[in-house]
Amino acid sequence: MITTKIPVRFNDCDAMGHVNNAVYLTYFEEGKREIFRWFTPSMDLNNWHVIVASTHCDYIHEINYGEEITIYTWISTISRSSFDVEHAICDEAGNWHARGRVTLIGYDYNNKKVVPLSEEIKTILRQHQDEPAGVPELRQIRKIGEFRH
């Protein structure tokens, strides 16, 4: 598991006075920084090896300016050419604010095609499959047209 601490900045907040929903995905991206380095140690965008296939965020509780949050990041599934990264955001008091999942795919940008993950990368990913204690479950993604309230 990767742990990333971030102070909530004034510009992360919207007119409602709390962190804007789009910023949560930026927080998740900060949590993935170490993962990106496993694929591209130089962080050179001309030599990038992964692409986002999907992203999901469950908003549990608002985050406010001035708080320090912790983003927990871990690997939940690994397949031939893709893997799922899960995230949870927690405040200093231990309150959960968000849960998320991002699917990343091994990708060759020069040839515009999906590539298998190397065994070396899979080994590194497997070393980060522990999740934080007490983390809330992700909500089930509903089918198109299905609505619950």
pLDDT exceeds 70 at position 65: yes
In the numeric block, the tokens 């965020």 are attached to 57
For every residue of 19-35, DSSP letters joined together read: B-HHHHHHHHHHHTHHH
CA distance 86 to 96: 14
For β-strands 2-7 and 50-59, DSSP reports them as: unpaired
User: pLDDT by residue (tens digit) across 96-113?
Assistant: 999 999 999 999 999 999
User: pLDDT by residue (tens digit) across 22-60?
Assistant: 999 999 999 999 999 998 889 888 889 999 999 999 999
Of the candidates 85, 87, 83, which has an alpha carbon nearest to the alpha carbon of residue 121? 83
- Contact criterion met (CB below 8 Å) for 125 and 75: yes
CA distance 114 to 82: 9
CA distance 124 to 23: 28
pLDDT exceeds 50 at position 149: no
pTM as predicted: 0.89
Structure tokens at 10: 């004034």
pLDDT for res 122: 97
pLDDT exceeds 90 at position 94: yes
